[in-house]
Amino acid sequence: MNEEQLWLDQARKGDKDAFGQLIDAYQIPVYNLAYRMLNNSGEAEEAAQEAFIRAYTRLESYNPDHKFSTWLLSITSNYCIDLLRKRRAIFLSIDEPLGAHPALRSDKIKEPEAQVTLNEQQEMVQSLLEDLPDEYRQAVVLRYWYELSYEEIADSMETTVSAIKSRLFRARKLLAEIGVKKGLISALEQVMA
Amino acid sequence: MEQEHDYAYALMMDALDGELTEGSKLELELHLQMCSDCLREWHALVAIETLLRTTPALAPAAGFTQRTLARLPNRRYRIWALTAIYLVLLLCGFVPMALGAWAMTRLLPILNQPALINGITHSLTKFMQVIGAVLMALFNGLGEVVVQQPAALGWFLVIMGVISVWGGLLRELLSQPQRA
């Protein structure tokens, strides 16, 4: 039995410390997914915590034949999709700017060049992702940051592999269009150079 | 020409997924040499692909684990609570069944007495006879009224007819389209 399975078994029996180990192990992927989806650090933290709480209370329904990470990311992305729908319904007419991740708010002048470049890169990513439809963004994030296969993405989004291929196809096309429209492609080439 | 672009675009997607065969790779390269629009699109796709693949994941603020753990519900209490609910529901089913079985064992010797069963059967038969007699009397009475007072039946039929005609008329009026 590997370490993760041991933590899962103990967590099922109510051992919070064991579940804490799982949170430690997966906090970055879960938070990153929530942030990429929601583009707001406060909401991302809240969503990531909620995803872990949901996972903890539903541990009985976890099927050990699948990867725990895929199951956890599926809970996170579905929760984020729900939040985005609610957000759209509530804040339809409010143009309040969303809170950026602290890493993107730092003072660029005082930082080393590499950090500035990284911040620019993160801003570009968020700028591209924010204009994608929710389902496309979900597929893109799962594909690029977690390198999930089409099958795994389809599994976590409860849809078919062909639907995921089609979403990624359109998402890439849209991202390229958004990149050109926002002038990000030339800026990107400078950053990457 | 449009079909060629679509085909080239499908090849670009395969290339981004690393699923392009040598033959298809050559096809794509040839197309890109001839088509400046597709070449521009390809450059944009590659730039975005590189950006997404090289951008590191963002981490939450320090202390995330502790903050999350503080919000976790107590799973042990939950398990105990669920067990208690399950036991209560089990008892809800078990207790009436046990009481029923106990009552049956107590009542069975009494119920098995032939005199009691005969008595119950006799009472039921009598009750049914009384109900039958009452219903017969009512029908007979109604028949006599119709025979002796045919006008009463006539009036009844007339009133029913009027009600039916007015009802039909009202439905017709209500179903007429409203004029603007």
Best residue in B68, B74, B79 to probe A by mutation, most A CBs within 10 Å?
A: B68
**pTM tops 0.90:** no
With vertex at residue A142, the alpha carbon angle to CA B11 and CA A92, rounded to the nearest 5 degrees, is: 105
Residues of chain A in contact with residue B79, where contact means CB-CB under 8 angstroms, are 14
Distances (CA, A) of A159 to A139, A162, A164, A173, A190: 11, 9, 7, 21, 38
By Cβ distance, the residue of B48, B65, B76 closest to A27 is B65
Query: In this predicted structure, which of A86-95, B30-39, B142-151, B160-169 has the lowest mean pLDDT?
Result: A86-95
The DSSP 8-state label assigned to residue B179 in this structure reads P
The DSSP 8-state label assigned to residue A61 in this structure reads G
Q: What is the pLDDT of residue A99?
A: 53
Query: Is the pLDDT at B21 greater than 80, yes or no?
Result: yes
Q: What is the pLDDT of residue A76?
A: 95
pLDDT (tens digit per residue) in B69-114 = 999 887 777 778 888 888 898 888 888 888 988 888 888 877 778 8
Residues A31, B64: contact at Cβ < 8 Å? yes
The CATH label, of 1.25.40.10, 1.10.1740.10, 2.60.40.3680, 1.20.1440.120, for the domain at A1-99 is 1.10.1740.10
All residues at 6 or more sequence positions from A27 whose CB lies less than 8 Å from its CB, including other chains: A48, B59, B60, B64, B65, B68
Q: Where are the domains of chain B?
A: 2-54, 122-180
pLDDT (tens digit per residue) in A144-154 = 888 888 999 99
pLDDT (tens digit per residue) in B125-172 = 999 999 999 999 999 988 888 888 888 888 889 999 999 999 888 887
Q: What is the pLDDT of residue B104?
A: 84
Mean pLDDT of the region A12-30? 93
What's the pLDDT band for A103 if we cut at 50, 70, 90?
low
Q: What is the pLDDT of residue A193?
A: 59
CATH code 1.10.10.10 region(s) in chain A: 103-193
What's the pLDDT band for A45 if we cut at 50, 70, 90?
very high
Please answer yes or no on whether B60 and A31 come within 8 Å at the CB atom.
yes
Q: What is the pLDDT of residue B178?
A: 45
Residue at token pair 């975005």? B48
Residues A172, B13: contact at Cβ < 8 Å? yes
The CATH label, of 3.90.700.10, 1.10.10.10, 1.10.3720.10, 1.10.10.410, for the domain at A103-193 is 1.10.10.10
Q: In this structure, which long-range contacts are made by residues B26-35, counting pairs with CB atoms below 8 Å and at least 24 apart in sequence?
A: B31/B4, B32/B8, B35/B4, B35/B5, B35/B8
Best residue in A7, A9, A17, A32 to probe B by mutation, most B CBs within 10 Å?
A: A32
